[in-house]
Amino acid sequence: MKRTLLTLMALFCATVLMAQVKAGAPYVDFTVLADHADCLYRIGEEPRLRIFAKGGGAGLNGVQIHYEAGNDRMEPDMKGTMTFMRGEAQVPVGTMTVPGFRYCTIRFEVKGESYTETVKVGFSAKDIEPTISNPLDFDFFWKQTLKKAAELPLVEEVVEIPQFSDSEVRTIMVRIPCDEEGGSIYGYVSIPNDGQKHPVLLVPPGAGVKRVNPSEIYAKEGFITFTMEIHGMPMNASDEQIAADKERLGDYWYTNIEERDAYYYKRVYTGCVRAIDYLMSLPEWDGKNVGVTGGSQGGALSIVTAALHPEVDFVAAFYPALSDVSGYQVGRAGGWPRMFATADDHPEINRKKALRVMGYYDVVNFARRVKCPGFYNYGFNDNTCPPTSVRAVLNVIKAPKEIVETPAAYHWRFGEVNKEATAWMKRHCE
């Protein structure tokens, strides 16, 4: 009897200790799942979201859910309420009669705290077609642009950067001219410090005016890596200079948008091509493997570079920006930076002229021309680079492509996907 009592006391103490381990856990725990595991449907199907929720460990009961749904990045076209019963509820998403994505946002309140979640689902997403025009002289324009740039010096400045160098990686800063007007781009080039030959990899930046640091991760994976900026700003610029450039450049993606030959991204796209030329001039290059990778604006520039430079033989692009930007003009989501999504969006600009110019710069029209294998990833819940715009790009790529869809992701990617992409790039270089 005494031994039994001691055993019961031990079990009780263990139970108390387990409860203490979970102390501090959130009172409400909930999960939202589409009734198709991959969040993909055919046109005309009517998805429902299943919501499982516990409060203090017990299934919520009688708690009201408010929901609203609509097409990707558009105003909601349906709203309603549902009620949790025994910890579960279901809400409708609505359907579509054309290929695209829809979102559903749910909100509920427990003990004065609010909880919300948004889920997007796709309808015949592989059939989404671009809205942007494809200029007849697109190829001629870029051929002439790059021909002029090729007459410039390959590099104008090379500086050793000891603070980013060690026994494994040597890092230099370079400045590369892009156009006859004196435009240039800067970048860090990180070279594996082992005396061997290596693949080269361009890593364009995401959007914004900010400090860019070298990508030592890829260099330590065996790639000679060019981490670039796009504004002609030295990599070692002071905080004051970066702040001044940020103020000066503002919404740089609208700069000269009515003029094809003067648009801001012309120098940027040319700079990416020139960066590849520079990488291929390095004695440490293995002479055969040339890649480019990036996300958001960097994803856009990766696809652009793969299309413009014939020596690029692999690309890994994540949720590319600048994709099918004309979407909002026909009532559907367009890519970052949401050009002319509202009536008061830069009213001083002639939209017709601007969208005509964007035909030469939209990622869709470069994607049509990609010939090398690609690894692509995007999240359905991304509102910065909406999945509707990304799919418009991926669907026109005819080259071999591996598409990794992560429905739960917003404007970021999972670490596991990063590892998968790096492994894919390394396999390509074997």
Active site residues: 296, 382, 411
Phi, psi at 365, each rounded to 5°:
-75, -20
End-to-end CA distance of the chain: 69
The answer to whether 71 touches 153, Cβ cutoff 8 Å, is no
Peptide bond into 337 cis (omega under 30): yes
Q: Alpha-carbon distance 374 to 380, whole Å?
A: 19
Radius of gyration (C-alpha) of the chain in whole angstroms? 25
Residue appearing with tokens 């999945």: 387
Q: Alpha-carbon distance 273 to 146, whole Å?
A: 8
Q: Alpha-carbon distance 255 to 265, whole Å?
A: 9
| Count of positions (residues) in the chain | 430
Q: Does an H or E element contain 157, and which?
A: strand 157-160
DSSP 399-416: S-EEEEE-TT--SS--HH
